């Protein structure tokens, strides 16, 4: 994860402080805590989470002299503690087909993520079917077909503007007939008309439940990490529209400051199944709490 830029602690201790630079030490006082808090907020962690993290670091340590390395370890430890419970891959069930509904605003990386996931599942020996449920955006359907080809996975499409729920039903029928392990359903991401989107998603769910009352088995919300604190409001919105079971954070290779993942974990506790780290098919990594915490702290 290149999400942290120069690293939080390095900034507090000045440019010269590297892993070997155990001097200078700084007294952990209110001024230093405030700087730390500011850094965490600037990393997109949000005020509440930043305050809690700094309070935990302060506890029993005020007045102590800390080196950059010590502060890094403390901070990474605190962040890893928040992130460990959410670092969980997407659960795979014996159910066939396992239905994975993929939601998120347009541009968040839904199409790309579906392609990457399909490729990983294929590599793991699973039969996958994709349904291009965003039937209004012709470009999205085309993109998904390209990704399907790359991943070697069939993509079911419907006429432009046709009912996504009826496509989902057909896709269920095909996935069942073919004994597919996974059916991934792309959905529209037009948040401009929430009522409309809510009804569309609810109808998709209703229709696939006619075939399998336990479906969808996963509802993945794809979030663009570069949108910073917006990601938090997207979770709140989509949780009202769908029964979100897990997150995929995209674009962590870019300018994202990464702290938003900590805020998300702290606030919602939803599992982070994977992180997008580029535009290529293999650029999807499992989320590792320790690695992430170290990268963020820098
Ligand atoms: P959708 O509208 O939600 O389906 O979004 P797309 O999958 O079409 O992605 C929107 C843009 O983000 C495309 O240009 C993708 O190449 C890019 N993108 C998606 N995931 C990642 C990622 O993890 N890293 C980077 N750098 N770009 C990404």
Q: What is the pLDDT of residues 224-280, one digit of tens each?
A: 999 989 999 999 999 999 999 999 999 999 877 789 999 999 999 999 999 999 999
At 71-110, the pLDDT tens digits run 999 999 999 999 999 999 999 998 899 999 999 999 999 9
Least confident of 8-17, 123-132, 193-202: 8-17
Answer whether 102's CB lies under 8 Å from 187's CB.
yes
**Tell me, what's the pLDDT at 5?**
47
Would strands 155-156 and 182-186 be described as parallel, antiparallel, or unpaired? unpaired
**Model confidence at 22, in pLDDT bands (50, 70, 90)?**
low
Q: What would the mean pLDDT of 118-127 be, rounded to a whole number? A: 96
Which ligand 1 atom is the nearest neighbour of the CA of 275? 23
**Tell me, what's the pLDDT at 7?**
66
**SS3 of the chain: helix, strand, coil, percent, to 5:** 50, 15, 35
3-state DSSP assignment of residue 298? coil
CA distance 277 to 167: 31
Q: What ipTM does this complex have?
A: 0.99
Answer whether 58's CB lies under 8 Å from 28's CB.
yes
**Tell me, what's the pLDDT at 15?**
52
Report CA(202)–ligand 1 centroid distance (Å): 25
Which ligand 1 atom is the nearest neighbour of the CA of 283? 23
**Tell me, what's the pLDDT at 206?**
97
pLDDT of residue 1 exceeding 50, the answer is no
Which of the listed residues 114, 279, 282 should we mutate to test ligand 1's pocket, taking the one with most ligand atoms within 8 A of CB?
279
Query: Which of 195, 266, 259 lies closest to 229, judged by CA?
Result: 259
At 24-71, the pLDDT tens digits run 789 999 999 999 999 999 999 999 999 999 999 999 999 999 998 999
CA distance 254 to 23: 32
Report CA(26)–ligand 1 centroid distance (Å): 42
The owner of tokens 């609810």 is: 202
At 228-243, the pLDDT tens digits run 899 999 999 999 999 9
Query: Which of 225, 205, 239 lies closest to 100, judged by CA?
Result: 205
């Amino acid at each position: 994860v290149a999400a942290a830029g120069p690293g939080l602690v390095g900034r507090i201790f000045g440019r010269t402080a590297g892993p070997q630079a155990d001097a200078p030490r700084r007294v952990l006082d209110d001024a230093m805590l405030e700087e730390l808090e500011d850094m965490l907020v600037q990393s997109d962690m949000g005020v509440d989470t930043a305050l809690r993290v700094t309070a935990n670091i302060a506890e029993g340590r005020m007045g102590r002299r800390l080196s950059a390395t010590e502060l890094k370890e403390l901070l990474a430890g605190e962040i890893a503690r928040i992130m460990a419970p959410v670092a969980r891959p997407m659960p795979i069930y014996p159910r066939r087909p396992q239905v994975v509904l993929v939601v998120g605003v347009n541009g968040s990386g839904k199409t790309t993520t579906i392609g990457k996931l399909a490729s990983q599942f294929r590599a793991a020996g699973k039969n996958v079917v994709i349904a291009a449920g965003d039937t209004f955006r012709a470009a999205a359907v085309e993109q998904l077909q390209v990704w399907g080809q790359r991943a070697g996975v069939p993509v079911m499409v419907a006429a432009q503007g046709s009912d996504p729920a009826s496509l989902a039903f057909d896709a269920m029928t095909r996935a069942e007939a073919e004994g597919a392990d996974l059916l991934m359903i792309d959905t529209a991401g037009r948040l401009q008309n929430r009522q409309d989107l809510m009804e569309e998603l609810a109808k998709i769910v209703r229709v696939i439940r006619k075939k399998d009352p336990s479906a969808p088995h996963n509802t993945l919300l794809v979030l663009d990490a570069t949108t910073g604190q917006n990601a938090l409001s997207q979770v709140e919105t989509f949780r009202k529209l769908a029964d979100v079971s897990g997150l995929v954070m995209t674009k962590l290779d870019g300018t994202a400051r990464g702290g938003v993942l900590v805020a998300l974990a702290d606030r919602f506790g939803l599992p982070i199944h994977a992180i997008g780290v580029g535009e290529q098919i293999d650029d999807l990594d499992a989320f590792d709490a320790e690695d992430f915490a170290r990268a963020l702290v820098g």
